[in-house]
């Protein structure tokens, strides 16, 4: 009786119960169920051979098949990384053997043909993992999608370019291994997701921060063409100063210096170095290792491909948070004043400062503080996302939907930074703060006083995202109408009528408010060098 009662409790909780076996191209896997048996979960599914030993700093190799049934009840190891960001939380050790994905499906069998969503995590291309608690896929899967989260190689392991590695490579180039990992994961989806009830012909890639940069890049990566059909970008794209892709020459020169620093100048010597030693050295290295224009994976700057209209012509839903970097300004040791903001702007931007100060005014200390927060957010990530949206709708025929996440996110009481109490007003709609709303995982952020309005907003965002994955249109009968952005020539008046959806405790279709800021930055950042 006790055993039957325990089994009944497990079924009611929806954890630990056996999921049906599924045959993949590499062998049988068996997962578990969640959400009172409504969602099948498969964790730790490998999508490529472990990139270790001779396979370190090589394109992902095909996965070796196995015999028997592989248990898929626990996430694979996270990729090698330093502790960079406080909001990235893990429950396991890192390893080079990390090319795994997690999958949630509400489908009972292979005939469902549900839309597929593939999440690419953020973390500056240096940190993060598919199994972060905030990335749990149960709630999105409830909306009738197959949800997949993937790992990809990070930092030096994902992006080291080096002349010796290029010579050793059949492509004649090196670096961008992380982007190729993403391609390999999408190829796995193409070949296997139907067995889990997903439609390989209806795949949406989505990501936040570096994950958004990545999905933006995948729109121009030749190897990714045809592997996805819709894109969602949350805060970030390769159109601005953040995480800019270096030239092949610069990346290889940087990698060569790194090799000298760890006393490894050949491909064999680089691969022989212990992973922990490589990571320790890379953790102190500047600039960070990130994508490069290598002529193979990224054949030219991302912006150039979009300008020519040669990117993947697929529906795009993208936007950013209203206060991406606000907390870093308002909670700094010394807040900007009208005088200091003007002086710093002139020192930093020289002749461009006059135009910037017109759209980021400093009429008083209070105004300057808001302008400083806005400029920091725009340069960090808002401008690049705006430019991506503008470039895609100007050159393509695919629909584009834009959002602004504006919820001033509640903060845990008692938090202090630089001697100041942290308030929701100080932090606002912070960078990465929308992730838990998208996934419906608010409760993974502890000690925060979430309100019913936060949960309602989260439910609406989940519906918008999954509707878009299903049809390329986020709208639904129970949602505030979201206007599509028409394809329009650059420079045309964009302020007539609603242009985007504002995601807050009240969801509204609103006009574009800050176009003058982005146009001023665009003129400065895209001007030819003098």
| pLDDT at 5 > cutoff 70 | no
- Cα–Cα distance for residue pair 191/393, rounded to 1 Å: 31
Which of 431, 458, 502, 519 is an active site residue? 431
Asked if 431 is an active-site residue, the reply is yes
Question: b or e along 352-368 (b: 16 or more beta carbons within 10 Å of the residue's beta carbon)?
Answer: bbebbbebbebeeeeeb
pLDDT band, residue 364 (cuts 50/70/90): very high
Q: What is the pLDDT of residues 385-431, one digit of tens each?
A: 999 999 999 987 899 999 999 999 999 999 899 888 999 999 999 99
Nearest to 188 by CA among 173, 167, 203: 203
The answer to whether 246 touches 238, Cβ cutoff 8 Å, is: no
Asked if 324 is an active-site residue, the reply is yes
Which of 75, 209, 384, 406 is an active site residue? 209
Residue 496: the pLDDT is 54
CB atoms near residue 222 (< 10 Å): 11
Where do the domains of the chain lie? 2-526
Q: What is the pLDDT of residues 267-296, one digit of tens each?
A: 999 999 999 999 999 999 988 899 999 999
| DSSP, res 248 | H
Asked if 252 is an active-site residue, the reply is no
Residue 171: the pLDDT is 87
- Cα–Cα distance for residue pair 416/295, rounded to 1 Å: 47
Residue 4: the pLDDT is 38
Residue 15: the pLDDT is 46
| pLDDT at 1 > cutoff 50 | no
Residue 13: the pLDDT is 35
Residue 492: the pLDDT is 46
Q: Which helix (H) or strand (E) holds 409?
A: none
Which of 324, 390, 434, 502 is an active site residue? 324
pTM for this entry: 0.95
| pLDDT at 348 > cutoff 60 | yes
Q: What is the pLDDT of residues 493-527, one digit of tens each?
A: 444 567 899 999 999 999 999 999 999 999 999 97
pLDDT band, residue 91 (cuts 50/70/90): low
CATH 3.40.190.10 applies to domain 2-526: no
Question: b or e along 321-337 (b: 16 or more beta carbons within 10 Å of the residue's beta carbon)?
Answer: bbbbbbbbbbbeeebbb
Over 358-397, what HEC string results?
HHCCCCCHHHHHHHHHHHHHHHHHHHHHHHHHHHHHHHCC
Residue 170: the pLDDT is 87
pLDDT band, residue 238 (cuts 50/70/90): very high
Mean pLDDT, residues 375-388: 98
């Amino acid at each position: 009786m006790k055993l039957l009662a325990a089994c009944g409790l497990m079924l009611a909780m929806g954890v630990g119960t056996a999921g049906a076996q599924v045959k993949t191209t590499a062998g049988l896997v068996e997962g578990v169920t969640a959400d009172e048996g409504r969602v099948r979960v498969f964790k730790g599914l490998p999508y490529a051979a472990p990139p270790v030993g001779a396979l370190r700093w090589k394109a992902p190799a095909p996965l070796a098949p196995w015999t028997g049934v592989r248990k898929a009840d626990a996430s694979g190891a996270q990729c090698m990384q330093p502790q960079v960001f406080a909001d990235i939380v893990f429950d396991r050790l890192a390893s080079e053997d990390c090319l795994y994905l997690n999958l949630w499906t509400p489908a009972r069998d292979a005939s469902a043909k549900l839309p597929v969503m593939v999440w690419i995590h953020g973390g500056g291309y240096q940190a993060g993992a598919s199994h972060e608690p905030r990335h749990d896929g149960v709630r999105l899967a409830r909306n009738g999608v197959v949800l997949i989260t993937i790992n990809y190689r990070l930092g030096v392991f994902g992006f080291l370019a080096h002349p010796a590695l290029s010579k050793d490579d059949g492509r004649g180039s090196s670096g961008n291994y992380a982007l190729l990992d993403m391609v390999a994961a999408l190829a796995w989806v193409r070949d296997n997701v139907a067995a889990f009830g997903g439609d390989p012909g209806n795949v949406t890639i989505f990501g936040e921060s570096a994950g958004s940069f990545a999905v933006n890049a995948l729109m121009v990566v030749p190897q990714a063409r045809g592997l996805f059909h819709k894109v969602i970008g949350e805060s970030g794209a390769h159109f601005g100063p953040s995480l800019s892709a270096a030239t092949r020459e610069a990346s290889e020169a940087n990698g060569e210096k790194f090799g000298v620093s760890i006393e490894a100048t050949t491909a064999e010597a680089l691969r022989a170095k212990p992973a922990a030693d490589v990571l320790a050295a890379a953790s102190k290295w500047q600039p960070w290792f990130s994508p490069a224009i290598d002529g193979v994976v990224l054949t030219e700057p991302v912006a150039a491909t979009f300008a020519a209209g040669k990117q993947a012509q697929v529906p795009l839903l993208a936007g950013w948070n209203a206060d991406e970097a606000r907390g870093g300004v308002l909670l700094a040791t010394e807040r900007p004043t009208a005088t200091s903001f003007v002086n710093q702007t002139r020192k930093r931007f020289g002749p461009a400062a006059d135009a910037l100060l017109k759209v980021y005014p400093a009429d008083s200390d209070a105004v300057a503080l808001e302008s400083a927060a806005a400029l920091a957010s725009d340069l960090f990530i808002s401008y690049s996302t705006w430019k991506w949206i503008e470039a895609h709708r100007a050159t393509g025929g695919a629909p584009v939907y834009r959002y602004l996440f504006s919820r001033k996110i509640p903060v845990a009481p008692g938090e202090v930074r630089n001697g100041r109490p942290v308030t929701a007003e100080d932090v606002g709609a912070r960078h990465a703060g929308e992730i838990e709303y998208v996934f419906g995982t608010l409760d993974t952020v502890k000690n925060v006083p979430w309100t019913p309005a936060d949960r309602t907003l989260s439910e609406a965002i989940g519906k918008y995202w999954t509707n878009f994955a299903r049809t390329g249109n986020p709208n639904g009968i129970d949602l505030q109408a979201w206007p599509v952005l028409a394809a329009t020539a650059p420079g045309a008046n964009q302020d007539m009528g609603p242009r985007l959806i504002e995601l807050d405790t009240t969801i509204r279709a609103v006009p574009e408010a800050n176009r003058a800021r982005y146009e001023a930055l665009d003129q400065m950042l895209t001007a030819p060098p003098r």
